[in-house]
Amino acid sequence: MYVPVALVTIATRFWVMHMRKCLIAGNWKLNGDHALCDQFASTVFPTDSSFDIVICPPATLLQSMQQLIKKHSSCLRLGGQDVSVESQGAFTGEISAKMLHEAGAQYGIIGHSERRAYFAETNEKVAIKMAQLLAANVSPIVCVGESRAARDQQQTLAVIEAQLSPIKAVLQQQALSCSQIVIGYEPLWAVGSDQPASPEQAQQVHQFIRESMADVPDAEALRIIYGGSVTADNSAALLAMPDIDGALVGGAALNIDSFLGLLPVV
C-alpha cells in the first residue's frame, strides 16, 4: 500500500515529539528558604510520567530540599543554578559538578543570561561547564538567547548559532548523547519582563536549534525548553508548539499555585 511521504514525515514527527518528555524547571535564583523548600516538597504534584518537574534552589538549600523530597516521596527532581569550570582546588566560593551531584542535583543550569551578563561568562566557558556536569552524571540545562538589540538587528539566529557552536563541539568530540542535555532558549528581552516571546517567535528559534543540533549523537532526543516570562496564562500555547519541550520558569516558580498552573494538562 502506498503511503504519501508527507504522511510518513508527519507520523514520524508526531512519534518523536511524544518520545521526548516535557520538562518544567523552576529557577529560584537568589530567592527561597527552608520554608519554601518544605512547601514545594510537601505539595502533591501530578505523577504523570509524560513530564519531569525540576526545582533549582540556591546551592545552600540543595541538601535540605533533597532531604525533604525523600521524606515526602515527592516526584520533584533537583537542579543546581550554576557550576564551576573547575573540579577541585583553591577556588574559594566555587561549587564543583561532583559536589552538586553529591548534594542530590540531577540537573544543573549553565549559561543563564544573568550569568552571561553579570559575570561575563563566555560561550566557551559554558561548554566547559557542560562537560563538567556530564562527567559528574548531572544533566546540563544549557541556556542560550539573544538581546533585544540583536533581535532588532535580525541577529537572533547568528547569536544562537555562536552560543551553540562550542556546545556542539564538545558533544561531537566526546561522542556524548543529546539525550543527556537540555537546551533552554531564553531571550534576554523576555526574561523578567511582561513581554514574553510569542509561541510563534519561540517556535522559530526552537526549530532552528533543533536543526542546528541535528548532527550531534541522538539529536532526536534533545529537549529544548523555553524560558522568559512564562506564566500559567501563556504556558499552554508555548508547550503546544512542536519543538518546545517544556519551560524554564523564574518568578512563577516561587509560588506553588502559579507553578502548578504551568504544568501541562495530560
Rounded (10°) CA dihedral 235, 29, 208, 97: -130
Of 114, 121, 146, 186, catalytic: 186
Residue 161 annotated among the catalytic residues of the structure: no
Q: What distance in Å separates the CA atoms of residue 197 and residue 99, rounded to the nearest whole number? A: 35
Rounded (10°) CA dihedral 95, 99, 100, 104: -150
Joined grid coordinates for residue 161: 548559532
Q: What distance in Å separates the CA atoms of residue 142 and residue 139, rounded to the nearest whole number? A: 9
Residue with C-alpha cell 516570562?
229
**How large is the C-alpha radius of gyration of the chain?**
18
DSSP code at position 59: G
**In sequence order, what DSSP letters do the residues of 131-179 get, joined into one string?**
HHHHHTT-EEEEEE---HHHHHTT-HHHHHHHHHHHHHHHHHHTT--GG
Residue with C-alpha cell 500555547?
237
Give Dmax (Cα) for the chain.
67
Of 101, 112, 114, 206, catalytic: 112
Residue 113 in contact with residue 186, Cβ under 8 Å?
A: yes
* Residue closest to 140 by CA, chosen among 83, 102, 207, 65: 83
Residue 185 in contact with residue 222, Cβ under 8 Å?
A: no
Residue 95 in 3-state DSSP? coil
Residues annotated as part of the active site: 112, 186
